[in-house]
Amino acid sequence: MNNMEFAKRMDRFGEGIFSKLAEIKKEKTAKGEEVIDLSIGAPNIPPAPHIMEALCRAAAEPSNYVYAISDRKELLEAVRGWYNIRYGVELDSETEICSLLGSQEGLAHIALSIVDEGDVVLVPDPCYPVFGDGPQIAGARLHYMPQRKENGYIIRLDEIPEDVARKAKLMVVSYPNNPTTAMAPDSFYEELIDFARKYDIIVLHDNAYSDLVFDGRECGSFLRFPGAKEIGVEFNSLSKTYGLAGARIGFCLGNSQVVSRLKLLKSNMDYGMFLPVQAAAIAAVTGDQSCVQATRQAYETRRNIMCDGFTSIGWKMERPVATMFVWAAIPEHYTTSEAFVMELVERAGVMVTPGSAFGPSGEGYVRLALVQDEKMLNKTIRAVRESGVLLEEGKR
């Protein structure tokens, strides 16, 4: 069959940069060349023993292989307690919490329950790609909200045109931010709630990095602000905080109407979270939390080694205040972030993500993930220095 026709919605999506980078890595590895991969935020810090033990015990129980059509009451109660203790937020376990098969799944699908074809969705620029991809799957039109360095990468709500605000149905925001690593002040959330209430916009706040904040800083929940639950929900994830990335554990929390519609959508799309994975999630949020501090310290140490090391060889990097990423300007003698990325992997064997992959405002930057141990990071810095890619006269 030579004339297969496919959904026009797929015309909105090109081959992702992560797929391109994966192919380059595969080719170089096949030739016996080493690639140090800092492109994808895939945590390499495993879960604490008590979390893995809970998963293994539950996986050995034959009765746990049935469909998990709805979240276990124990899971919902555990998450309710976690949000109360960790964030000081009261939630109703029955109506204000819904599990996700990882935040990515939730971000890809939630717009289907909120927007119709042609509706406007406000997304940050730069942003984690699925923030825009999910709404586009639902047929939405995107309006980008710039996150500029001169504003501390905080969205300026007063720059959103009045006519756009009135048409918007959904807004996605996320701090601590991927990829810019910025944290937002309390005043931003207060303005956000007022803005959303004024224009009847549903807010989705992604809070995946609230426990990866450094230098003694603290980070809470969007839902702790008065009025937040009236206008939106928060997504949270156990991937980075507890090392459970592959287990795919996330939650949608907050406004009961939004949660209810998402539950309805998901009831027609999947059969819920595998029961042993629910057991691991319960162990994570109710058990010994010293693993969270240990993970935070590991990332802070990696951050220091990477930023200080690259700065010392001429690639200036500011230490991020949060997340597991570094957002760095490309050397001045490169014209595009993708050109620099390709040169870096070709000559130094180091793979990072071009800022352009995160939206128009990402051009001129790259994102580096803190997913290698200290020994490998020092090796990375040496490889970049010896490659000459940071020297203008060494540019091909």
Check whether residue 103 and residue 219 sit in a common domain.
yes
Amino acid letter, 170:
L
pLDDT above 90: residue 18:
no
Q: Are 136 and 7 in contact (CB under 8 A)?
A: no
Q: What is the pTM of this model?
A: 0.94
Residue 311 maps to a domain: yes
Check whether residue 17 and residue 63 sit in a common domain.
no
As a whole number, mean pLDDT of residues 361-366 equals 96
Check whether residue 256 and residue 178 sit in a common domain.
yes
- Nearest-10 crossing angle of helices 275-286, 73-87: 30
> Domain holding 339: CATH number?
3.90.1150.10
Condensed to tens digits (0 to 9), the pLDDT of residues 224-279 reads 999 999 999 999 999 999 999 999 999 999 999 999 999 999 999 999 999 999 99
Residue 147 maps to a domain: yes
Beta bridge partners of 100: 250
Domain of residue 313 covers 13-42+288-385
| CA-CA-CA-CA torsion sign (191, 192, 193, 196) | positive
Check whether residue 109 and residue 257 sit in a common domain.
yes
Q: Which structure tokens are listed for 208?
A: 């995946």
Q: What is the pLDDT of residue 9?
A: 85
Residue 394 maps to a domain: no
| CA-CA-CA-CA torsion sign (60, 64, 67, 68) | negative
Residue 326 CA to its chain's centroid (Å) = 13
Check whether residue 35 and residue 117 sit in a common domain.
no
d(CA 80, CA 83): 5
As a whole number, mean pLDDT of residues 22-29 equals 90
Parallel, antiparallel, or unpaired: how do β-strands 365-369 and 325-329 relate? Answer: antiparallel
Q: Which structure tokens are listed for 134?
A: 């999910």
Point out the domain boundary residue: 286, 305, 333: 286
Condensed to tens digits (0 to 9), the pLDDT of residues 87-141 reads 999 999 999 999 999 999 999 999 999 999 999 999 999 999 999 999 999 999 9
Residue 395 maps to a domain: no
| CA-CA-CA-CA torsion sign (349, 355, 358, 360) | negative
Sheet with 325-329, edge to edge strand ranges: 325-329, 365-369, 353-354
| CA-CA-CA-CA torsion sign (152, 153, 157, 161) | positive
Helices vs. strands in the chain: H and E counts, helices first:
13, 12
> Domain holding 119: CATH number?
3.40.640.10
Q: How confident is the model at residue 12 (pLDDT cuts 50, 70, 90)?
A: confident
- Nearest-10 crossing angle of helices 337-348, 17-30: 20
d(CA 252, CA 271): 17
Q: What is the pLDDT of residue 15?
A: 67
Check whether residue 132 and residue 221 sit in a common domain.
yes
Check whether residue 154 and residue 217 sit in a common domain.
yes
Check whether residue 93 and residue 139 sit in a common domain.
yes
Q: What is the pLDDT of residue 22?
A: 85
Sheet with 168-173, edge to edge strand ranges: 97-100, 250-254, 232-237, 202-206, 168-173, 120-125, 141-146
Check whether residue 19 and residue 149 sit in a common domain.
no
Residue 393 maps to a domain: no
Condensed to tens digits (0 to 9), the pLDDT of residues 34-55 reads 999 999 888 999 999 999 999 9
Check whether residue 175 and residue 251 sit in a common domain.
yes
pLDDT above 70: residue 29:
yes
Residue 1 maps to a domain: no
Q: What is the tally of structural domains in the chain? A: 2
pLDDT above 90: residue 19:
no
Residue 158 maps to a domain: yes
Q: What is the pLDDT of residue 393?
A: 56
| CA-CA-CA-CA torsion sign (215, 220, 226, 227) | positive
Element (H, E) at 101: none
Residue 6 maps to a domain: no
